[in-house]
């Protein structure tokens, strides 16, 4: 009985210590932010308009393909990554999958005013211009048509890695994605991205370990919430695409997660059996002395 | 030396040469431990086991770790964590054991303080134990640098910078420790050497000394009763096992230790598999970057209380700079518990619940250390700074008051 009382005291103080330095301290170190909003309520998006994909195709051909490739429908990149990064500051995205990975309202709002939708207007206050011009002169219906077209050509299914490549890799390297081959380096060369963003965006190899999954969702959905003033744009990923990005970060940064979770059961099971036998043996031995 | 005629290649001959049976008797079956103990007495064996886990997992990590600022981070987080078979398991075991061993050290230490196991013949046990604590702290600190993450770098920068405080600056101590003006490759390689060679060697030696020091005065017991070991051992050997107040180390004492160990290992491996972030700070999974200071720099949880005594005095006092006062208190905190046997003025060995004033002293100490630990992690701003200030003051007052508190208890009991 006395042993249990002592154990209760030890457990209580250990628990208090743990609570103090982990959950409690973390609420003080990392202030709570509102949950991610995957509907992008704040943007000036489609406002209920339905687009016509066929008309959208024409608008895209005359407005977008001068800079953007759309490999899915036969518009290859006009320049290689190094040259286009030097020309635009950052490699422009291929639009083949935009209709799938980005929220439709966000996409419409981005076409209208990229800096505003991406919440990076603070970067372009001193006369610098966003690499993509605003299409706020365009009729809302035409923008809706463009969005409808992009949705019509987008694939129905994408792998986690494909979503990551299209959503993140223009700026971010993820070295552990191809440690020896180097194919997962950022598409935009360091010098260009540094002058565009102010810093070289961090390598994402270990983000899943250095940030919690919850933090990553909050941050990707709206970087300004956790890092006010950051140069990272809000990219407008749908909830599904964002999950796929985080899953890719897990596959790369915590590749042994499944093995860890599978090994835990047998390991702890063995120890429980060991503890039971140890306890029984102890009782047997101590019966002789008590 | 008596000439041994039995063949070297016979069991008898080997026994003649090594006296294994006598050794086993001395170390195990006739090494006497008091019977009146609880599970807290198993912490020594739990510590020894955790240390063994650290050595074994450390050896595996050492096969792939690269002590070079350009390679260290990837060798840990890619090679060991993702490529090597079960490398992640050894790293998690190593990181979590390094943290948990301090929890057990603190439990072990405060068990000693509670039951008065540091005094009147047991001073050497206490001193060797405290030296182990200090060496383990150095081992923990040097190991934390090796993954070369953001916390590795910045904790190293902040802590080595302590040696630039006050007049130490003039001696160039910090540059001597770092091997340069900033934390750099030379710092990493020397801390690597300390972590995998010199400090483990010292720890192993100190463990032997620690075991040796408790052989003569024997382990204390729950009621701190003075036991006549020869008489009680005789009783036990005569078969009066139930009456005897002692038990042999093997198998009786160790059987209890194994039971406690079994439960401890479940807890430990649960942490290894499911809850490791407290021991492997997420911030340290960002590669070291000397150009980018993390938003919050804090040491591992087991250093937080002493770190907070460093930050406690945040304003100038008595004509001294806040930083210098902090450094002095921090220096004292490292060695504070070493002096406990010499400031306890109570001539009797008794558990704290039989020393009413010391009992209160003990629990205030526990709570104060908890407060220091938690606030050591929080940013030292606003009210936090004042909590840290007062908790540091209480810490100092506790040590200043210990001689009087313990003497008052002795007087009330009529022992003085």
Spans of all domains in chain A: 1-30, 31-253
pTM summary value: 0.95
Q: Which two tokens stand for residue B159?
A: 């802590």
Cross-chain Cβ contact B282/A211 below 8 Å: yes
Indicate whether B332 and B381 sit together in one domain: yes
B258 has pLDDT over 70: yes
Q: Is position B138 within any domain?
A: yes
Domain boundary among B239, B262, B297: B297
Indicate whether B101 and B181 sit together in one domain: yes
Averaged over A250-270, what is the pLDDT?
A: 97
B66-93 tens-digit pLDDT: 999 999 999 999 999 999 999 999 999 9
Cross-chain Cβ contact B304/A211 below 8 Å: no
B88: chain A residues, CB-CB within 8 Å: 256, 259-260
Which of B256, B258, B374 has the CB atom closest to A20's CB atom?
B374
Domain boundary among B247, B268, B297: B297
Indicate whether B47 and B188 sit together in one domain: yes
Closest alpha carbon to B62 in B101, B89, B90: B90
Q: Is position B9 within any domain?
A: no
Looking at the complex, report in whole angstroms how far the Cα of residue A17 sits from the nearest Cα belonging to chain B: 6
User: pLDDT class for B268, splitting at 50, 70, 90?
Assistant: very high
User: pLDDT class for B98, splitting at 50, 70, 90?
Assistant: very high
Looking at the complex, report in whole angstroms how far the Cα of residue A145 sits from the nearest Cα belonging to chain B: 43
B35: chain A residues, CB-CB within 8 Å: 289
Q: Is position B18 within any domain?
A: no
Q: Which two tokens stand for residue B244?
A: 């005897």
CA triple A281-A285-A290, angle to 5 deg: 135
Indicate whether B283 and B333 sit together in one domain: no
| Alpha carbons B233 and B227: distance in angstroms, whole number | 10
Strand-pairing partners, residue A70, are: A75
- Percent of chain B past pLDDT 90, that is, above it, reads 89
- What is the predicted pLDDT for the residue at B149? 97
A203: chain B residues, CB-CB within 8 Å: 287
Q: Is position B176 within any domain?
A: yes
Between A and B, how many CB-CB pairs are < 8 A? 130
Averaged over B197-216, what is the pLDDT?
A: 97
| Alpha carbons B262 and A280: distance in angstroms, whole number | 11
| Alpha carbons A197 and A230: distance in angstroms, whole number | 9
A118-127 tens-digit pLDDT: 999 998 887 7
Is residue B305 a contact partner of residue B396, using CB atoms and an 8 Å limit? no
B2 has pLDDT over 80: no
Strand-pairing partners, residue A237, are: A102
User: pLDDT class for B166, splitting at 50, 70, 90?
Assistant: low
A130-179 tens-digit pLDDT: 999 999 999 999 999 999 999 999 999 999 999 999 999 999 999 999 99
Cross-chain Cβ contact A6/B40 below 8 Å: yes
Is residue B154 a contact partner of residue B287, using CB atoms and an 8 Å limit? no
| Alpha carbons B197 and B203: distance in angstroms, whole number | 10
B401 has pLDDT over 90: yes
B90: chain A residues, CB-CB within 8 Å: none
Please name the residues in contact with B146: beta carbons below 8 A apart, sequence gap of 6 or more: B65, B67, B72, B76, B152, B188, B191, B192, B195
Q: 3-state class of B102 per DSSP?
A: helix
Domain boundary among B297, B320, B355: B297
Looking at the complex, report in whole angstroms how far the Cα of residue A268 sits from the nearest Cα belonging to chain B: 6
> What was the ipTM of the complex prediction?
0.95
Q: 3-state class of A206 per DSSP?
A: coil
Averaged over B316-325, what is the pLDDT?
A: 85
- What is the predicted pLDDT for the residue at B324? 84
Which of B35, B262, B277 has the CB atom closest to A278's CB atom?
B262
Can you say whether residue A5 is alpha, beta or left, with left for phi > 0 and alpha for psi between -120 and 50 degrees?
alpha
Distance linking the first and last C-alpha atoms of chain B: 53
Q: Is position B4 within any domain?
A: no
- What is the predicted pLDDT for the residue at A3? 94
| Alpha carbons A154 and A77: distance in angstroms, whole number | 17
Q: Is position B16 within any domain?
A: no
Q: Which helix (H) or strand (E) holds B247?
A: strand B246-248
- Percent of chain A past pLDDT 90, that is, above it, reads 92
B121 has pLDDT over 90: yes
DSSP count for chain A of H helices, then E strands: 15, 0
Nearest-by-CA chain A residue for B237: A289
Chain centre distance of CA B87: 26
Angle formed by the axes of helices B150-161 and B185-193, to 10°? 90
Indicate whether B53 and B112 sit together in one domain: yes
A9 has pLDDT over 80: yes
Indicate whether B310 and B262 sit together in one domain: no
A57 has pLDDT over 90: yes
Cross-chain Cβ contact B269/A267 below 8 Å: yes
User: Which of B282, B294, B308 is the best residue to mutate to test the A interface, defined by the most A CB atoms within 10 Å of its own CB?
Assistant: B282
B221-235 tens-digit pLDDT: 999 999 999 999 999
Cross-chain Cβ contact A260/B287 below 8 Å: no
Cross-chain Cβ contact A25/B78 below 8 Å: no
Cross-chain Cβ contact B277/A22 below 8 Å: yes
Is residue B51 a contact partner of residue B140, using CB atoms and an 8 Å limit? no
B259: chain A residues, CB-CB within 8 Å: 275, 278-279, 281-282
Cross-chain Cβ contact A21/B77 below 8 Å: no
Is residue A193 a contact partner of residue A131, using CB atoms and an 8 Å limit? no
Looking at the complex, report in whole angstroms how far the Cα of residue B73 sits from the nearest Cα belonging to chain A: 11
Averaged over B330-349, what is the pLDDT?
A: 94
Which of A10, A276, A286 has the CB atom closest to B255's CB atom?
A286
| Alpha carbons A179 and A174: distance in angstroms, whole number | 9
User: pLDDT class for B167, splitting at 50, 70, 90?
Assistant: low
Which of A20, A271, A289 has the CB atom closest to B266's CB atom?
A271
Cross-chain Cβ contact A205/B77 below 8 Å: yes
| Alpha carbons B18 and B13: distance in angstroms, whole number | 9
Domain span holding position B372 = 302-416
Can you say whether residue B239 is alpha, beta or left, with left for phi > 0 and alpha for psi between -120 and 50 degrees?
left
The CATH number of whichever domain residue B247 belongs to comes to 1.20.810.10
B271-297 tens-digit pLDDT: 999 999 999 999 999 999 999 999 899
Into how many domains does chain B fold?
2
A187-240 tens-digit pLDDT: 999 999 998 888 999 999 999 999 989 999 999 999 999 999 999 999 999 999
- What is the predicted pLDDT for the residue at B314? 87
Please name the residues in contact with A233: beta carbons below 8 A apart, sequence gap of 6 or more: A118, A119, A120, A223
Q: What is the architecture of the domain spanning A31-253?
A: Orthogonal Bundle (1.10)
B110 has pLDDT over 80: yes
- What is the predicted pLDDT for the residue at A128? 80
CA distances from B275 to A22, A180, A273, B8, B254 (A): 11, 31, 22, 53, 29
Please name the residues in contact with A221: beta carbons below 8 A apart, sequence gap of 6 or more: A36, A37, A38, A234, A237, A242
A93-126 CB burial, b ≥16 within 10 A, e <16? bbbbbbbbbbbbbbbbbbbbbbbbbbbbeebeee
- What is the predicted pLDDT for the residue at B171? 78
- What is the predicted pLDDT for the residue at B322? 84
B165 has pLDDT over 80: no
Cross-chain Cβ contact A285/B78 below 8 Å: no
Indicate whether B277 and B333 sit together in one domain: no
Averaged over B304-316, what is the pLDDT?
A: 92
B239: chain A residues, CB-CB within 8 Å: none
A1 has pLDDT over 90: no
Looking at the complex, report in whole angstroms how far the Cα of residue A37 sits from the nearest Cα belonging to chain B: 25
Q: Which helix (H) or strand (E) holds B248?
A: strand B246-248
Higher pLDDT, A93 or B168: A93
Is residue A144 a contact partner of residue A93, using CB atoms and an 8 Å limit? no
Is residue B207 a contact partner of residue B132, using CB atoms and an 8 Å limit? yes
Indicate whether B96 and B244 sit together in one domain: yes
Nearest-by-CA chain A residue for B252: A285
Angle formed by the axes of helices B87-114 and B43-62, to 10°? 150
């Amino acid at each position: 009985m006395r042993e249990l009382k002592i154990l209760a005291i030890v457990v209580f103080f250990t628990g208090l210590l743990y609570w103090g330095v982990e959950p409690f301290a973390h609420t003080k170190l990392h202030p709570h932010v509102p949950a991610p909003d995957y509907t992008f309520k704040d943007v000036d998006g489609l406002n209920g308009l339905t687009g016509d994909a066929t008309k959208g195709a024409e608008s895209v051909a005359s407005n977008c393909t001068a800079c953007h490739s759309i490999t899915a429908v036969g518009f290859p990149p006009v320049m290689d990554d190094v040259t286009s990064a030097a020309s635009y500051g950052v490699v422009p995205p291929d639009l083949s999958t935009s209709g799938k990975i980005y929220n439709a309202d966000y996409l419409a709002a981005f076409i209208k005013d990229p800096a505003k939708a991406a919440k990076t207007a603070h970067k372009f206050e001193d006369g610098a211009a966003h690499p993509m011009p605003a299409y706020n002169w365009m009729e809302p219906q035409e923008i809706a048509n463009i969005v409808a077209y992009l949705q019509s050509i987008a694939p129905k299914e994408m792998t986690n890695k494909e979503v990551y490549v299209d959503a993140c890799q223009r700026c971010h390297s993820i070295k552990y994605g191809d440690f020896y081959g180097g194919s997962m380096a950022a598409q935009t060369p360091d010098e260009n991205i540094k002058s565009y963003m102010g810093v070289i965006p961090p390598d994402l190899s270990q983000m899943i370990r250095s940030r919690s999954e919850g933090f990553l969702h909050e941050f990707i959905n709206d970087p300004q919430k956790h890092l006010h003033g950051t140069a990272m744009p809000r990219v407008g990923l749908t909830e599904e695409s964002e999950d796929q990005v985080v899953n890719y970060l897990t596959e790369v940064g915590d590749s042994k997660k499944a093995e860890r979770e599978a090994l835990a059961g047998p390991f702890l099971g063995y120890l429980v059996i060991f503890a039971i036998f140890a306890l029984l043996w102890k009782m047997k031995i101590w019966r002789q002395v008590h | 030396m008596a000439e041994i005629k039995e063949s070297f290649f016979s069991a008898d001959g080997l026994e003649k040469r090594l006296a294994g049976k006598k050794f086993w008797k001395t170390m195990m079956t006739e090494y006497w431990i008091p019977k009146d103990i609880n599970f807290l007495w198993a912490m020594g064996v739990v510590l020894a086991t955790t240390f063994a886990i650290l050595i074994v997992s450390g050896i595996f990590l050492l096969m792939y770790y690269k002590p070079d600022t350009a390679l260290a981070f990837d060798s840990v987080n890619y090679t060991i964590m993702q490529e090597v078979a079960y490398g992640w398991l050894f790293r998690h075991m190593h990181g979590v054991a390094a943290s948990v061993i301090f929890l057990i050290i603190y439990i072990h230490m405060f068990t000693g303080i509670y039951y008065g196991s540091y005094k009147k013949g047991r001073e050497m046990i206490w001193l060797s134990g405290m030296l182990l604590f200090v060496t383990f702290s150095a081992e923990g600190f040097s190991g934390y640098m090796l993954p070369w993450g953001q916390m590795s770098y910045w904790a190293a920068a902040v802590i080595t910078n302590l040696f630039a405080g006050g007049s130490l600056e003039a001696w160039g101590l910090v540059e001597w420790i770092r091997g340069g003006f900033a934390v750099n490759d030379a710092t990493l390689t020397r801390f690597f050497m300390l972590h995998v060679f010199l400090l483990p060697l010292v720890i192993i030696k100190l463990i032997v000394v620690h075991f040796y020091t408790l052989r003569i005065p024997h382990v204390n017991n729950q009621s701190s009763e003075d036991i006549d070991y020869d008489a009680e051992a005789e009783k036990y050997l005569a078969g009066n096992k139930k009456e005897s107040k002692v038990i042999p180390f093997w198998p009786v004492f160790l059987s209890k230790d194994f039971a406690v160990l079994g439960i401890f290992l479940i807890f430990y491996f649960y942490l290894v598999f499911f809850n490791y972030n407290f021991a492997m700070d997420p911030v340290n999974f960002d590669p070291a970057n000397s150009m980018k200071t993390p938003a919050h720099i804090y040491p591992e949880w087991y250093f937080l209380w002493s770190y907070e005594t460093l930050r406690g005095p945040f304003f100038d006092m008595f004509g001294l700079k806040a930083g210098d006062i902090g450094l002095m208190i921090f220096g004292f905190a490292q060695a504070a518990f070493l002096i406990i046997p010499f400031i306890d003025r109570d001539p009797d060995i008794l558990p704290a619940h039989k020393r009413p004033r010391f009992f209160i002293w003990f629990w205030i100490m526990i709570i104060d250390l908890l407060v220091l630990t938690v606030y050591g992690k929080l940013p030292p701003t606003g009210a936090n700074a004042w909590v840290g200030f007062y908790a540091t003051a209480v810490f100092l007052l506790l040590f200043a008051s210990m001689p009087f508190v313990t003497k008052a208890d002795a007087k009330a009991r009529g022992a003085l």
